[in-house]
Structure 1
Amino acid sequence: MSQTLQVTGHEHDDAWDKDWLSVDDIHEIYYEQYGKKDGKPVVFLHGGPGGHITKGNTQFFNPQYYRVILLDQRGCGKSRPNADTRNNTTWHLVSDIEALRKHLKIPKWHMVFGGSWGSTLSLAYAQTHPSSVGSLVLRGIFTVRSLELDWTLSPQGTAMLFPEAFGEFLSFLPEEERTDHVNAFHKRLMSEDISVSYPAAYAWNKWEITVSTLYPNIEGLANLDDPSWLLAHARMESHYFQNKAWLEEGQLLRKENIDKIRHIPATIVQGRYDVVCPPITAWELHKAWPESTLHFTPDAGHSAGEPGNKKRLIETCEEYARLSV
């Protein structure tokens, strides 16, 4: 399979429903619905933490079969307030997904679809509410273990493959702060002074975008000019990573937690050269859960939009449309 392969996703009409759901005294989560109104309901969980939805997220799902629900997580995208870390943990987000399911009167998700941080959230949600999940499609597996965080943020991981980009990332900070760069960035990202937080967010996000694809991702860099994404993405990542996403080390991979979802049909799609969420985690998830199907994409990195990953995800969703769950 060549990187020149053109993979055309599914075309959807504009959303037939856009709204906010109040989930507590602070947060209103934004959602959109696409596709077949009486179709098989799939919820799309974006990455980050701190990403946001776009209409392009619908391209994996055939509108002849699927009712597609896109959700901006707390503090993200059009959810209100933007970039707010109060009452914002993995378990708040898990609760929000379940609240949205009930709000939309969906008895059971036909599919929960999540990549990167979305895979983390999908696993956490399914392990908490297994009876609400009919199937799982997971891409770029991330479980917020120390080795995964260190791989992306320390000089001993991805930095060894992208030394010039990591050097640019570190050089944003004064030299005396570079020995503890993760905490130094966190302090800046949490600042209420946008003259402090926005430049730090730019540097943080540029590093991640630069390493997210096998081939240079020029289009992805355009996100750096989107103020609704810029701070939310970097601040939420830092907030969640500093707190290990409120997960115990290796929690999502433990046998007792996999046992809760072992019966759920699941497919894992993992770019062979994903250096944001290294393939070892997808492999370890599959070893713990041999009933799942694992596909390594031989010529892709982290992004769902890379041709090999995109093709496999579309094919999987087409296959899962025939499931009775």
Structure 2
Amino acid sequence: MRGLYPDLEPYQQHQLPVGGGHSLYIEECGNPDGQPVVFLHGGPGAGAGPAARRFFDPNRYRILVFDQRGCGRSTPNGRVEHNTLTDLIADLETIREHLCVDRWVLFGGSWGSTLALAYAQDFPGRVKGLILRGVFLGRRQDLEWFIGPDGAARLFPDYYADFTAAVAPRVDLADAFFERMFGDNELQARQAASAWTYWESRIATLVPNPFFTKRFAASKGGQTMARIECHYFRDACGLSGRAILDRADRLADIPSIIVQGRQDVVCPPDGAYALHRAWPNSQLQLIPGAAHSASEAPLVDALVRATDQFARL
């Protein structure tokens, strides 16, 4: 079974202003003359850690990693103003032009897959290939599965009760959490953000990791992710009028490998399967014994094999 490539450090780092008061942290790793690949992290709002560099052979790839608006090392942290899917797509074009990249491979998991697909549908000529993990299509049914009472809640009723206890009973949970997270009461804001992140991280892995879950939910990064995620959920992830499956024909000439945990509860496999059916040029790999987290060994194995294959594009 394949593991991640060894640790490596960036050879170049950037802070790139992109408008609306935002500045993006970007790093370049690996071979400056290698195949350009950009890592698109999840969330939205999760940020990219050092492990993001390690899915790629550093001898064959020019590895580009950045933190999307408002998260990680991008500034200002946690800002949701001027932070939409349209903005993130424009940021990718700004990064591509700033780094003098003609065409690149996109590697995205969870929300990163959403961003990768939306960008590729707008700029298919700029994309050599797509490697996607834990596909999230941002459909209404996907949002309701994650935070509604008839989705993942039916598998984890006790965890869901803890999640919803952070806000007053409401039909629209995204609105309820948003009001708490962005309200004037700092304690309630932190509690709501922690509950959101705690719920997501509890159901993200096949084997529970209570220590990581509690630590991440209380961290600054976890709080930021919850705020930005909730903001995007209230806006239907910016996909109104641009549903990914409806525009699948724009991906027709782009090769893709879709790596999907068969036991993924955050982003169930039906989304990846529907995308594959609408996109004949894609390969779908349903990975048994894996859920949502990219750190799970069976997913690491499949993703590293995929990047090795795409290094030859």
TM-score (norm 1): 0.92
The CA distance in 2 between the partners of 1:203 and 1:107, in whole Å, is 42
Check conservation: 1:267, 1:316, Cα contact below 8 A.
yes
The equivalent of 1:241 in structure 2 is 233
Contact in 2 for aligned 1:45/1:122 (Cα 8 Å)? yes
1:127-276 pair list within 5 angstroms: 127-174=121-168, 177-191=169-183, 193-218=185-210, 220-221=212-213, 222-227=215-220, 229-248=221-240, 251-254=243-246, 257-276=247-266
The structure-2 alpha-carbon separation of the partners of 1:217 and 1:272, relative to structure 1 and needing over 3 Å to count, comes to: same
Shift of 1:268: 0.4
> What SS does the corresponding residue of 2:250 show, helix, strand or coil?
coil
Identity of aligned residues (%): 41
Question: For structure 1, which runs of at least 5 residues remain unmatched after alignment?
Answer: 1-5
Matched, 1:73 2:63: no
> Aligned partners of 2:265 and 2:20: how far apart in 1?
38
SS of the aligned residue for 2:230 comes to: helix
Task: Report the equivalent of 1:118.
Answer: 112
Aligned amino acid, residue 35 of structure 2: K
TM-score, normalised to structure 2's length? 0.96
Give the drift of 1:198. 1.4
Q: Does the 8 Å CA contact 1:43/1:113 hold for their aligned counterparts?
A: yes
Q: Deviations over 1:185-226 (max 9, x none)?
A: 111122354323211110100000000011103454232242
Name the CA shift for 1:25/1:281 in 2 (closer, same or farther; >3 Å): closer
Q: Which residue of 2 aligns with 1:3?
A: none
3-state SS of 2:244 partner: helix
Letter in 2 for 1:8: G
SS of aligned partner of 2:309:
helix
Q: Is the Cα contact below 8 Å between 2:2 and 2:304 reproduced in 1?
A: no
In the TM superposition, residue 250 of structure 1 has moved relative to its aligned partner by 7.0
> Mean Cα displacement is larger for which, 200-209 or 210-219?
210-219
Count of paired positions = 312
Deviation at 1:7, TM superposition (A): 4.7
Distance 1:219 1:34, change over 3 A: farther
Residue 178 of structure 1: how far off its partner (Å): 4.6
Asked if 1 retains the 8 angstrom alpha-carbon contact of 2:267 and 2:292, the reply is yes
2:291 match = 301
Q: Confirm or deny that 1:86 pairs with 2:81.
A: yes
3-state secondary structure, aligned to 2:97: helix
Secondary structure at the counterpart of residue 195 of structure 2:
helix
- SS of equivalent residue, structure 1 residue 212: coil
Q: Which structure 2 residue ranges, 5 or more long, are not aligned?
A: none
